[in-house]
Structure 1
């Protein structure tokens, strides 16, 4: 207040008043806020007053609960302590009872073994010995009360040890006797006893030796002499494949028969080393069959001769086929090798299934290494790999030789009528398909992949070289001859050879087109054939086969390139020179015309009808001799050339409005004609010319804006702004200043 008294100036007093009013306003707002929250504060205070009595009750209940929990905890601890004592007592009682049972069992084993041996009940005797072997001698002796009883127990153990050795000798002797007399029942009887006597490993060795002898005896009795006793010619062609199959069936039956016995009495997973031993015997017997096959069929010698001839004469396939080998005889041998491979792969699949099943039941991950060792590294697997390697070489030679022979027997092209394709094209694909399908029957991933690659190489290198060579030689030989006149039969008889070359050119184009289609069809058929086989393969093998199949499919593009290049040469070098003369005549026909001239053009067209007539005459004979696809391609290429030359001629001419209308009629007639002679759509090739015709038909320069930019609608302009201006300048009635002024 004292400070206010000191104020003397009106401005200072007014400022102080304003500050006080502002502070008063703020205080009023705070009071209003407090008054607004009064009801809520009152409600919360009321709730708190109701809760306070309940808090007292909660505190009392919490104290009671705490005491109850402590009491329960003490009680539980007390009970737990007593339970532990009871459990300890129970374990001691069980241990005492077990020792008593062991002593009683020991005495029973002594009496039981002696009685069982007297009546030759060796299974029961072995069961008593097995029980005795499970006893802890030191622990049983410690159970005895006095020295006399301890001596009795020691004597019992001594008697059982003697009985054990005696029984082992009997079992070994009886088993060997059963094996020598081929008594299967007795063999299986004593095989079950070995594990009871603690001779599991010896038992497995005995089983392995016995099963190997079974395989050997059966092989000598039923398989070894098949090759010399067969009388049926058809069966003789597959005799070695049949011998392998009988060997595999014999082994499969033995494994299926003895696996349950081994796993029951020797434990899960113990069949694996026995199968290893069986596989070694299989390797020996299968090697004998394969050796006999190689010698009697002269398989390795034939393959070796083929390889040597290929190295000494690298181009022998294409220059001197079938000089030393009758490839027709290879067909039988290749079928037999494919059958042997397929049956071997089936056998490996059987072994793999049994080994994996045994490993899964045993639960030992390291068994995977054993499986790989048995199958991948066994001698039979190596032999079959070598056999498939030679098979691939012989199959590839067979495919090349038959292909070369088919090409050499191609027909003459003196006179051809209609679209003609060489007969060897279908023959080649029949052989390729046959060879690939035969490789599929081998069930060998490496063999199938190699034959797919060989087929792709045969098409890409050999057959592509033949067709490309024919295209090149035919075109060079007939490049200076009027092909149309030749096809119409107007040449002298002296040119018959040239006619043959030209016919060969057209037929070769058809061959390349059909080959391209045949490759695609072949791959589709093979995908169907391979579907079931691929589903059984792992991801890597499946990807490998699919990659090889894709490489074969890609060879289709090689033959498409032959067709494209050959048709382009035909179009540019033979057909277009004459047509270009007529197109160049466009500039000599005035398009800056009067209405009278326009009407005269309608009656006597000076340009387009002559052009259409020329094109029609030139392409008619090609339509007769080329395949539909090749003729359509030729028309497509020809259309490209015609539109390019016609556009160049247009920009060398001048037009008025009627001239533009005349050009539009000419263009429509040309498009209509070319559309009528092909199944392909070619109107898009005339897009630029059609847009030039639109420009030449405009009434004024500014009308172009109704078709350009945002006003274009569905029209997609192929002309650039510069092309549009150049087209406008062709109109003699449009001023250059107006054209340059337009913004495009």
Structure 2
């Protein structure tokens, strides 16, 4: 063992950083052992550990054969072998493996973070693929040792790195002051800043996905290599931490997307405020004129295209869909609040239905996820405001609702009915909903 100077190397690593996985040291180069040299040792140790496991399995099977001679001899001999000098050497080698693998993992992840850069034609920066390649390689090697303790140590190291240094590196850019303000410098979208913000969000999205892929891969491999239930429970416990990290990245991503929406929202607000000035007490002539000269929908859609759609090529499909849906939440909430304050003629109700359909049609083309549920309340308001008489609501309510699920409460239905200038309050009050 001294010949390959493993004890000295392990000692150097421990003295350089007693806790290999603590936060820090990302920005500076390490002066400890060369990770490339450490990797050569790891490959040698891996071969030794595999041979050790094979030899142990062979010896235990031979010892079990002794039970034919003496039933008590097998268990005693197995216990003696497992506590003998060979097993102690295997344990010692395993200890060196854990130290070296932990060091190799940390150093390479730190390097990937340190040299992080934009990659042409990629939506993420280099560290995302680099970090997960390192983690995947280390975990695969740990499983190849056929030693459950090595796997648990490696999994623990992966969880610690992801939750500390890597998580910090992902969020660092989001903390830059006034990043949102820089997005629309001079009143127009700034491509470089847009790319910067989108890339940060993409890194979080892809990292969350990669964590789950890694978890699934390791879970499958461990089930195959370590079929014993007790080993399975140990692995399961560690893998649940990986699953938690995926959720942590998603939470950070959602916060980042909400931050982006908060930057875009003020640029949509003037158009939404303008909707408040539009009349829905329409005559036939006004309704016909609105068909030619749209009062507000096209202005809103243009504002969305100008302030939202330009980010689509910069974002992952998942992020852009989430972004559009958060923008929709903002728009729909404002529209609902505005419409509930208005008065409507029947043609006004028809106009609202036309407006809602135009919005649903346009936003459906912007995202892969359905948007109809976002507009369900607004569409149902239009349906109510379109009725010939108050009692017609009963044709759509309760048992008569068919496939439609009402998003409005009975109280809200009465409130919407009361917006019609020609519906009598006593008829609305008499309704049994």
TM-score normalised per structure 1: 0.55
The reply to whether residue 568 of structure 1 matches residue 261 of structure 2 is no
Task: Determine whether 1:613 maps to 2:302.
Answer: yes
Superposition deviation, residue 701 in structure 1: 1.0
- SS of the counterpart of 2:423? coil
- Relative to its length, the structure with more helix (as a share) is 1
Secondary structure in 2 matching 1:296: coil
Q: Report whether the alignment pairs 1:654 with 2:343.
A: yes
Counterpart for residue 379 of structure 1:
85
* Equivalent position to 2:110, from 404, 412, 427: 404
Query: Is the alpha carbon distance of 1:436 and 1:480 closer, same or farther for their aligned partners in structure 2, counting shifts above 3 Å?
Result: same
How many angstroms apart in 2 are the aligned matches of 1:482 and 1:533? Answer: 50
Query: Structure 2 unaligned runs (5+)?
Result: none
- 1:328 offset after TM fit, Å? 1.4
Higher relative contact order (CA 8 A, sep 6+): 2
Q: What SS does the aligned partner of 2:99 have?
A: helix
Q: Deviations over 1:43-68 (max 9, x none)?
A: xxxxxxxxxxxxxxxxxxxxxxxxxx
Match 1:331 to one of 18, 36, 39: 39
Once residues 556 and 648 of structure 1 are traced to their aligned partners in structure 2, the CA distance between those partners, rounded to angstroms, is: 36
User: CA separation in 2, counterparts of 1:487 and 1:433?
Assistant: 42
1:523-672 paired onto structure 2 within 5 Å: 523-535=215-227, 538-571=228-261, 573-672=262-361
Structure 1 position 450 matched with structure 2 position 158: no
Select the residue among 41, 51, 54 that pairs with 1:343.
51
Q: CA deviation at 1:644?
A: 1.2
Q: 1:161-181: CA deviations, max 9, x gaps?
A: xxxxxxxxxxxxxxxxxxxxx
Q: Deviations over 1:703-743 (max 9, x none)?
A: 11111111112111111111111111111211222111211
Q: Distance in 2 between matches of 1:736 and 1:331?
A: 81
Give the SS at the match of 2:280. coil
What is the Cα deviation at residue 570 of structure 1?
Answer: 0.7
Matches within 5 A, 1:12-411: 291=1, 295-311=2-18, 315-359=23-67, 361-362=68-69, 364-365=71-72, 367-375=74-82, 377-411=83-117
Asked if 2 retains the 8 angstrom alpha-carbon contact of 1:453 and 1:552, the reply is no
What number of residue pairs does the alignment pair up? 432
Q: Which runs of 4+ in 1 moved over 6 A?
A: none
1:724 pairs, out of 395, 409, 413, with: 413
Aligned-partner SS, 2:17: helix
Q: How many Å separate the matches in 2 of 1:486 and 1:595?
A: 39
Structure 1 position 514 matched with structure 2 position 206: yes
Name the CA shift for 1:302/1:504 in 2 (closer, same or farther; >3 Å): farther
With normalisation by structure 2, the TM-score equals 0.93
Show structure 1 runs of 5+ residues with no match: 1-290, 490-498
Query: What is the correspondence of 1:471-490 to structure 2 with a 5 Å cutoff?
Result: 471-473=174-176, 476-483=177-184, 488-489=189-190
C-alpha distance in 1 between matches for 2:403 and 2:80: 70
Q: What is the Cα deviation at residue 528 of structure 1?
A: 4.4
Deviation at 1:670, TM superposition (A): 0.6
1:659 is displaced (CA, Å) by 0.6
8 Å Cα contact 1:419-1:627 kept in structure 2: no
- 1:331 deviation in Å? 0.8
- Give the Cα separation in 1 of the matches to 2:302 and 2:185: 14
Candidates 378, 381, 386, aligned match of 1:697: 386
Matched, 1:681 2:370: yes
Aligned to 2:131: 428
